[in-house]
Structure 1
Amino acid sequence: MSGYPTLRPQPAFSKMVELPKGPYGVPDTMMHGFQGSRASAAMEQAHPLQASEEQWLDHKLKMDYVMLKNSQGVHAPLKLKMEQFATSKMQRLPCLNSSNLMADILSGRDELIGFEDILNNPADSEVMGQPHAMVERRLGLL
């Protein structure tokens, strides 16, 4: 056996979710509200591919680490994990947006275009905080 992870990632959760039932066998939205029903149903998948898509990047990294280990030895995946740990500790000031380019390069996300690349870009935000207050909060002075 080569030690490779399975080609099909298994869903992290696969149990049926029971909504709180009212006296007539339907969810009682007057008691629990719409948000309560949505929160309890959040664990249920909307589509069979949802679990696979959520775990795709982690699964790809595991496969890459196993291939590196088999071809170059144990030191190669350990070195990559140490570099990723070091890049996770490097941060800009809290008032400046960071692209996390080094972390994206190490994980292979620099070659992908996803939802977060086009929409919800923090650099396009219209809100700017006060730099001194944000640094003091991060340091625990406020």
Structure 2
Amino acid sequence: MSLQLTPSSHNDTNVSTFDTSHNEFGVHDTLRHGTRSLKAEVLPGHPLENRLQEWDQTRWELKLNLARQTYGLHAPIKMMMEHDLVSKRTRMPVLPSSNLHTDILLGKDETIDFEDFLNTPDMCTDMLDVHTAMEHKLNMKI
């Protein structure tokens, strides 16, 4: 149980090429671990880069821990259940969805991000015909 406000500045996800080597051949396994990057092995990442990548996850964990300490064990379980239910998309693929419920649960309803003003339907590239989208959805169920 941690009440950490910001993510740690060091990156714990560094994987060496010895960890990604194939058991039989001893060379880097490209199919399972992607192409090998010597730059990532030699140069450590900037501390701010890891903090930005882990910011939302750390904030969510802090919110769950504070709810657990304040209200008891049921509160974070309820919050996680609500987040799982709300994050599932139940609308037709063509209809726009604002994900307002997810924003409220994560505390992003009070901030203005680039998704708020650049996520307009006019700029959307995945606009489809309603009939085609419903046929595709029906074919996926069958």
- With the shorter chain as reference, the TM-score category is 0.5 to 0.7
Secondary structure (helix, strand or coil) at the match of 1:135 reads helix
Asked whether the equivalents of residues 94 and 128 of structure 2 are also in contact (C-alpha less than 8 Å), the reply is yes
Deviations 1:71-92 (A, max 9, x none): 1100011111111111123422
Offset at 1:50? Answer: 1.3
Contact 1:95 1:129 in 2 (8 A): yes
Shift in Å, 1:106: 0.8
Q: Note closer, same or farther for the CA distance 1:141–1:122 as it changes in structure 2 (3 Å cut).
A: farther
Cα deviations by residue, 1:65-122 (Å, 9 ceiling, x for unpaired): 1111111100011111111111123422111111100111011111222232233x15
Opposite residue 54 of structure 2, the aligned amino acid is: Q
Counterpart AA for 2:132:
A
- In the other structure, the counterpart of 1:86 is 85
Residue 60 (structure 1) aligned with residue 42 (structure 2)? no
- The separation in 1 between residues aligned to 2:141 and 2:74, in whole angstroms, is 41
Tell me how far apart the structure 2 counterparts of residues 138 and 46 of structure 1 sit (CA, whole Å): 42
Q: CA deviation at 1:12?
A: 4.9
Contact 2:94 2:133 in 1 (8 A): yes
CA distance in structure 2 between the partners assigned to 1:137 and 1:42 by the alignment: 43
Q: Does 1:129 align with 2:131?
A: no
Amino acid at match of 2:7: P
What amino acid maps onto 1:131 in structure 2? V
Unmatched 5+ stretches in structure 2? 18-33
Give CA deviations for 1:29-85 in whole Å, capped at 9, x if unaligned: xxxxxxx98x84796776431111111111011011111111110001111111111
| Deviation of the 1:137 alpha carbon | 1.5
Q: Is the 8 A contact 1:104 1:110 kept in 2?
A: yes
TM-score (norm 2): 0.67
The aligned counterpart of 1:99 is 98
CA contact under 8 A between 1:45 and 1:51: conserved in structure 2? Answer: no
Cα pair 1:61 1:107 within 8 Å, conserved:
yes
Q: Is the 8 A contact 1:101 1:110 kept in 2?
A: yes
Residue identity over aligned pairs, in percent, reads 34
How many aligned positions are there?
Answer: 120
